[in-house]
Amino acid sequence: MAEERCKAWEFIGKNGEFRLEEADKSSYLYFPLSNEAGMMSVVTPKLHGDIKTSQNTFALMPVSVEDLHNTKSARNFWLNIDDEIIWSATGNSAQQIALHFNPEDEKVTVEAGLLWHKVIRENEKLGIKSEITSFVPANDDTVELMEVKITNIGEKDKKITPTAAIPIYGRSADNLRDHRHVTSLLHRIKTIDSGIVVNPTLSFDERGHQINDVSYGVLGSNQNGERPVGFCPIVEDFIGEGGNLEWPKAIVKNLDVYCQAGKELEGFESIGGLRFKDTILKAGEEESYIIAIAIGENVDIVDSLAEKYLNKDLFDNYLSQNRAYWEEKINKVQFKSGNPDYDNWMKWVTLQPILRRIYGCSFLPHHDYGRGGRGWRDLWQDCLALLLMEPEGVRDLLLNNFAGIRIDGSNATIIGSKPGEFIADRNNISRVWMDHGSWPFLTTKLYIDQSGDIDFLLEGQTYFKDAQIYRSKRNDENWEPEDGNKLLDREGNIYKGSILEHMLVQHLTLFFNVGEHNNFKLEGADWNDGLDMAEERGESVAFTALYASNLLEMANLLRELAERREINKLEIAREMKLLLDTLNNKVDYDSVEAKHKLLGQYFDSCVSRVSGDKVEISIEELANDLKVKGNWIIDHLRKNEWIKNNEGYEWFNGYYDNDGKRLEGDHPLGTRMTLTGQVFTIMGGVATDEQVEKIVKAADHYLKDDIVGGYRLNTNFKELKTNLGRLFGFAFGHKENGAMFSHMAVMYGNALYQRGFAKEGYEVINSIYRHCKEFKTSRIYPGIPEYINQRGRGLYHYLTGSASWLLLTEVTQVYGVRGELGNLVLNPKLLKKQFDNEGNANIYTLFANRPINVIYKNQKELEFGEYNIIDIIINDEEINFEIKDQSAIIKKELIERLSLDDVNEIEVILG
């Protein structure tokens, strides 16, 4: 494809602020504006994009990415200049669009930061300029604010007649193609002193209509707080017969369609059409207008926002509060390396997990699915980053999340909006993702390592219960929704087990749930949602490896628990003891049948309820059981899944398809390899060091491609593999079929770092960064997108689990600052080029709730592998530390003496 020339964004501040000139020359750009109250907006360089607080409360019409260029329903602000020229300050007029390709006509620049967005539009010929700043204040209000500043950059005086025009959709996203017209009949519209408020009578749903109390308002004033002089609340009046939102007759013909405050109308599509008084702007003069787009519980609440926000001083004040709020939030982790642009780019990556906490996996233009909320695996992986950024509430969050696990090791997949709220799946048989059981352990392990709170393992929690049993292979006829969503014991009491027990059941059930090649069954899919068509015979070797390393790590954690708590026994559900076969009658692990038999017995024992009885087991025996199982898997994988192809490359096979055929290796249609198959074998130590080297060679050969910014998820299978999953229906190089899928690529980088392959790990991460920064190809603002497609474009920006993993990788691997049961471990894996000119690299982060600033001093300019930690000085005092496997370990007791409020300076001398 011929590449359009374009400017690239550049950073203009230290907190990720950037500027993109000619922003209107790129399509599909969007930027999020949000707050913790759940206001979720998205804006484009032409102020397109929607605003909502949930699936059912969209103030502006919901947009999918194609709508950004395809619909006219955007935020708009019109000027009639000297009764002659019609100009849209947002660029959304038919005339401007027609002239758009002549760069001389209008210059459009976007500047943005945390979390504000400014578009500057300058038309020298007309002598007019607009600067529109948008943000969502960081407080409890669900309101988006805009300041529209108009400047006369010409030489003569100008009379301007300004009109804000913001179409109010005011209903559920579902109504876009479900009674769009009928739902406009529900609209009750009022003009108030400051603007227009729509309060639909009902929230329309043919399964049961409900009285609606949500109101939507567009309010405005000029910079001094003077309210509009007229209101046009009905779309058809505003556009006029034959007009449209980009050439509305109300503006173009200067029609008198405006009414006064106090008017009530009903039953039409509405618009926040606010006419402001005419103003004479002398040359060089400017005038500002403040617009608020609000979602509120009732008209009065919306009205009250007018007082709070509608004048320039208030706007400026809230804007600076907003910047300070977000800067403080993301500056909980900061990096300073030899590449300031990278450090700045990481600010956006750091913000992304917070955005995903707010938006879920829906509500940005590419994320046009789901109804808000996140999936199970996202819930856990997003916590990885939150542990670093917002550690305060994470213990509760984790504890609550465990209530979603079923006693058969599967979990609820419909996650409610409150922490710990899981909703029963009413489908008879629902899908089970086999990877789901592996994430809680990873996150919990990180939590315990960072905090030292090993007692968390013994905390009690309920189990989730619905009609799904036998890992959703059967239905529990005895369960009724009225029984509630908590597992009961035989007496009808709510059953609770420890957190450890929850994680055990997730791992042990899967250990026995194997396919014909004795790897864990793929079930409904694994991490890759697109591998969803191999339910019967598919196997995920990739995730079998992750579970294996989890089992081994869990065994270590148990031994630590025994030592720290001075205990040697703990309690688990009586039924579960069956799964600890080495404590009873050891099953022949080579026999798939024997494994199934035991699993069947376990499932039979906990169909509707559990007994409620607990048995005591020895921690040593339990740890040993897990170890035996983990080691068996590792041997099995090394023996059976390591492949060598005709070209002499070697790597791990990751999957079996629904015909029971191995996926990877040589194939008449071309070599088949997946990245996922390599990531977890490397991460968990299934691959030996020599195997890692071979995998890297194979991945570099088959998967690496600069066109997509690094390592593809798979090679081109050139086949619609309906015996494996829908992803083979996607064009190659897109999304889960062979794109550079950031989440897995970053995990690949992480795995390489974990194994000490720093140069290789750096290359993985850096190639993603380099690509994203190459704006002419990636066409995204700073940050990491979900994937890079075949043309090199970044898609599904902002909401992606890869951001959590990238942040985690930078902190715990690249800068090597991590916990080990509360001890602080320092093990930098920075390459020479990552240090600055003075030989320093610096990370500021929280550890055990204490702010620490770690400065690595590499004065001798040594390369990774050449340097060791020689000395550590904390707050000007040299301290004792232990060196283990290149890592310096600083004891928990010493960390506990550090300040909780003041920054603790940790100088680490490398030599």
| Site residues for ligand G1P per CB under 6 A | 361, 375, 377-378, 527-530, 736, 743, 786, 800-802
Least distance between ligand G1P and beta carbon 741 (Å) = 7
Name 110's bridge partners. Answer: 20, 119
b or e along 50-67 (b: 16 or more beta carbons within 10 Å of the residue's beta carbon)? bbbbbbbbbbbbbbbbeb
Closest distance between ligand G1P and the C-beta of residue 678, in Å? 16
Q: Which is nearer to ligand G1P, 642 or 655 (CB)?
A: 655
Using the minimum distance from each CB to ligand G1P, give the nearer residue, 338 or 375.
Answer: 375
* Shorter beta-carbon distance to ligand G1P: residue 237 or 435: 435
Q: Residue 498: in which H helix or E strand, if any?
A: strand 496-498
For ligand G1P, the closer of residues 772 and 869 by Cβ is 772
The distance of closest approach from Cβ of residue 163 to ligand G1P in the complex, given in angstroms and rounded to an integer, is 40
Tell me the residue ranges of DSSP E strands in 777-894. 785-788, 794-797, 817-820, 823-826, 840-847, 850-857, 869-874, 877-878, 882-884, 887-890
| Smallest separation (angstroms) from ligand G1P to the CB of 794 | 12
Residue nearest to ligand G1P according to CB distances in the complex: 801
Shortest separation between residue 748's beta carbon and ligand G1P, angstroms: 14
Q: Give the DSSP letter of residue 12.
A: -
What gap in Å lies between CA 54 and CA 42, rounded to an integer? 13
In order of 85, 378, 682, 887, the CA distances from 805 in angstroms are: 52, 11, 16, 21
* DSSP string over 280-297: EE-TT-EEEEEEEEEEES
The rounded distance, in Å, linking the Cα atoms of 457 and 444 is 9
Taking the complex as a whole, the smallest distance from the CB of residue 381 to ligand G1P amounts, in Å, to: 7
CB-neighbour burial class of residue 599 (10 A; exposed 0-12, middle 13-18, buried 19+)? buried
Per residue in 247-277, is it b (16+ CB within 10 Å) or e — as a string? bbbbbbeeeebbbeeeeebbebbbbbbbbbe
Smallest distance from ligand G1P to CB 670, Å = 23
Smallest distance, Å, CB 802 to ligand G1P?
5
Strand 18-21, strand 107-113: pairing: antiparallel
Determine phi and psi for 134, rounding to 5 degrees: -125, 145
Closest separation between CB of residue 733 and ligand G1P, Å? 16
CB nearer to ligand G1P: give 361 or 768: 361
Q: How far is the CB of 438 from ligand G1P (least distance, A)?
A: 12
Q: Which is nearer to ligand G1P, 603 or 787 (CB)?
A: 787
For residue 664 the two structure tokens come to 């990877």
CB of 749 to ligand G1P, least distance (A): 14
Residues in the chain: 911
Looking at the Cβ atoms of 705 and 786, the one nearer to ligand G1P is 786
* Inter-helix orientation angle 742-754/801-809, to 10°: 20
Q: Pick between residue 111 and residue 736 the one whose CB is nearest to ligand G1P.
A: 736
Which residue, 384 or 895, is less far from ligand G1P as judged by CB? 384
Using the structure block, give the residue that is written with the tokens 């979720």: 40
Q: Which is nearer to ligand G1P, 303 or 539 (CB)?
A: 539
Would you state the structure tokens that stand for residue 472, as one six-digit string? 């959703």
3-state secondary structure 159-203: EEEEEEEEEECCECHHHHCCCHHHHHCCCEEEEECCEEEECCCEE
* Nearest CA among 328, 361, 360, 330 for reference residue 346: 330
Shortest Å, Cβ 80 to ligand G1P: 45
Closest CA to 906 of 820, 837, 839, 817: 817
Task: Report the distance separating Cα 100 and Cα 580, nearest Å.
Answer: 69
Q: Residue 231 or 527: which CB sits closer to ligand G1P? A: 527
Based on CB atoms, which residue is closest to ligand G1P, 75 or 734? 734
Residue 160 or 675: which CB sits closer to ligand G1P? 675
Which residues, 6 or more positions from 435, have their beta carbon under 8 angstroms from its beta carbon?
377, 525, 526, 527, 540, 543, 546
Smallest distance, Å, CB 354 to ligand G1P? 15
